[in-house]
A and B are shown apart, each in its own frame.
Chain A
């Protein structure tokens, strides 16, 4: 297409003084990956394509179903049973033949996430499950790539931008450090969703992306925007980064590959918690590494049994110190040790049994005081 036609196509946004030809150039040189071509992905893709983003990637391994059509407005009945990534690419390319659209008809997993994300400047999370969301978040933190986040349930939506430029930028784990377990939060298939809601939220995600690329306005960095479609209530929360968050995220690409995100979201935590009695039995049986994950100065001191001292924040860096096939983490109250158990299970997978001492060392000392001598 000629330059004149390009100018004509984007004329109405080029004449915005904030955007201008320079902004349009930035959009043309931008590379955006949309993860999930579903309820949120479809509207985001339509507006990003129309706006003239130069390179758009679409990753989704799902196929179009009849019950998608009330909200995934890119598709028609003729697309049922076909790959979403491929159909979306075909349809969007007709809307704007001058941009490059790449379809990845594959499942996003640890093995392909980092390499794929490297190719793009900005990632858009339009997925529909927690394990993928946490994986995308962690990958973007590792790669320092901005992530545009949106999520919906029934009549309500959330939008945020995780800048990932430095430690002050909030990421998803600063808001919700650990994923809810399977079944704790219902997805759209279980709880339902009003079709127009992802249209609104997905369009906002496209808007945030365009703002990030062109540098205009104020993207939702360190902010969580919420919208209720029933009463039009908008509520915007200020977020701040947590020091502990970094310890939940794999420290490098190798640790990332070893993370089991499906396990993180599926396995009931209670199974890995043990009480004082089992704890004592395991210690007397031997073949167990007990780890104090508290900070060095924390009281009460423990001299009743042998243990390693690795504070929670340093755990993933020092996992090589752990030799035994059984690990029990403990802390003051049993909360941090649960996080530690999750981190260690993520690192070691099925190769080691990881437990957390329920109620922490305080409870253990109380139980011990009650024991007859």
Chain B
């Protein structure tokens, strides 16, 4: 099962292109896998949204889920 992942800001820059993660049942395992694949993610603060809803705790994913990871911006 592969979920759609949308990255913003610095995270998109670190990943350098489309990211896909196979066989993840929930957001915790997705984040674990991403941190293994892209260790720099672990040093960045970001919010996690599943299907456009910002989540606060581990959330079950299905094959239609879209997960967005969005870091804070400071510029003005």
Q: A23-41: which have CB < 8 Å to B?
A: 36, 38-41
Give A151-168 as 1s and 0s: 1 = Cβ < 8 Å from B's Cβ atoms: 111101110000000000
Q: Which of B9, B53, B72 contacts A176 (CB 8 A)?
A: B72
Whole-angstrom CA separation of A228 from B56 in the bound complex: 25
Pairwise interchain contact B74-A226, C-beta atoms closer than 8 A = no
Q: A147-200: which have CB < 8 Å to B?
A: 150-154, 156-158, 175-176, 178-180, 184-188, 191, 193, 198
Pairwise interchain contact A128-B9, C-beta atoms closer than 8 A = no
Closest partner residue, chain A, to B10 (CB atom): A185
Tier of interface size on chain B: 20 to 34
Pairwise interchain contact B76-A152, C-beta atoms closer than 8 A = yes
Pairwise interchain contact B76-A236, C-beta atoms closer than 8 A = no
Whole-angstrom CA separation of A151 from B71 in the bound complex: 11
Q: Which of B52, B70, B75 contacts A39 (CB 8 A)?
A: B75
Whole-angstrom CA separation of A238 from B73 in the bound complex: 18
Given A153-B9, A176-B47, A178-B45, A237:B74 Cβ within 8 A:
no
Q: Which of B6, B10, B75 contacts A235 (CB 8 A)?
A: B6
Whole-angstrom CA separation of A191 from B13 in the bound complex: 11
Q: How far, in Å, is B46 (CB) from chain A's closest CB?
A: 9
Pairwise interchain contact B76-A128, C-beta atoms closer than 8 A = yes
Q: Which of A150, A156, A186, A237 contacts B52 (CB 8 A)?
A: A237
A126 at the interface (CB under 8 A from B): yes
Given A238-B52, A238-B54, A175:B47 Cβ within 8 A:
yes
Closest partner residue, chain B, to A186 (CB atom): B10
Which of chain A's residues have a CB closer than 8 A to the CB of B9? Answer: 153-154, 156, 185
Q: How far, in Å, is B24 (CB) from chain A's closest CB?
A: 20
Whole-angstrom CA separation of A128 from B68 in the bound complex: 24
Q: B22-76: which have CB < 8 Å to A?
A: 43-45, 47, 49, 52-54, 56, 68, 70-76
A112 at the interface (CB under 8 A from B): no
Whole-angstrom CA separation of A130 from B73 in the bound complex: 8
Closest partner residue, chain A, to B13 (CB atom): A154
Pairwise interchain contact A153-B47, C-beta atoms closer than 8 A = no
Which of chain A's residues have a CB closer than 8 A to the CB of B70? Answer: 158, 224, 226, 237
Which of chain B's residues have a CB closer than 8 A to the CB of A127? Answer: 76
Which of chain B's residues have a CB closer than 8 A to the CB of A186? Answer: 10
| 18 examples of A-B residue contacts, CB within 8 angstroms | A40-B76, A128-B75, A151-B75, A153-B10, A175-B47, A184-B44, A184-B45, A185-B45, A185-B72, A187-B75, A193-B75, A226-B70, A236-B52, A237-B49, A237-B54, A238-B49, A238-B54, A240-B53
Chain A residues at the B interface, C-beta cutoff of 8 Å: 36, 38-41, 125-130, 133, 150-154, 156-158, 175-176, 178-180, 184-188, 191, 193, 198, 224, 226, 228, 235-240, 242
Not counting A151-B76, A152-B76, A185-B10, a sample of 9 additional A-B residue pairs whose C-beta atoms are within 8 angstroms of each other reads A151-B73, A152-B73, A153-B10, A153-B75, A156-B8, A198-B75, A228-B8, A235-B6, A237-B49
Chain B residues at the A interface, C-beta cutoff of 8 Å: 6, 8-10, 43-45, 47, 49, 52-54, 56, 68, 70-76
